[in-house]
């Protein structure tokens, strides 16, 4: 019982400490979808954002959640 609980805590700690990595990986995996559908500047004809505005929002939200904890 103690071993499984300690493994669970280690896994949770690893996921939390690498949350920015998961956000970045998700962004690059879905970048085309984000640029076409979620980007704030998607309706502007000459934008160079490339979805970075969405990534910045996600990272700021993650930072706020980490500060709460």
62, 19 contact by CB (below 8 A): yes
Per-residue pLDDT of the chain (69 residues; tens, 9 = 90+): 889 999 998 988 887 788 899 999 999 999 999 988 988 888 887 778 888 989 999 999 999 988 887
What's the confidence (pLDDT) of residue 43? 84
Q: Residue 50: phi, psi to the nearest 5?
A: 70, 20
* pTM beyond cutoff 0.75: no
Q: What are phi and psi of 48, to 5 degrees?
A: -115, 15
Listed residue (24, 29, 28, 31) closest to 59, CA to CA: 24
């Amino acid at each position: 019982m103690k071993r499984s609980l300690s493994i669970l805590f280690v896994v949770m700690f690893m996921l939390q400490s690498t949350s920015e990595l998961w956000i970045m990986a998700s962004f690059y995996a879905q970048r085309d979808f984000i640029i076409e559908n979620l980007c704030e500047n998607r309706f502007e004809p000459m934008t160079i954002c490339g979805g970075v505005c969405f990534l910045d929002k996600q990272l700021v939200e993650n930072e706020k959640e980490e500060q709460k904890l």
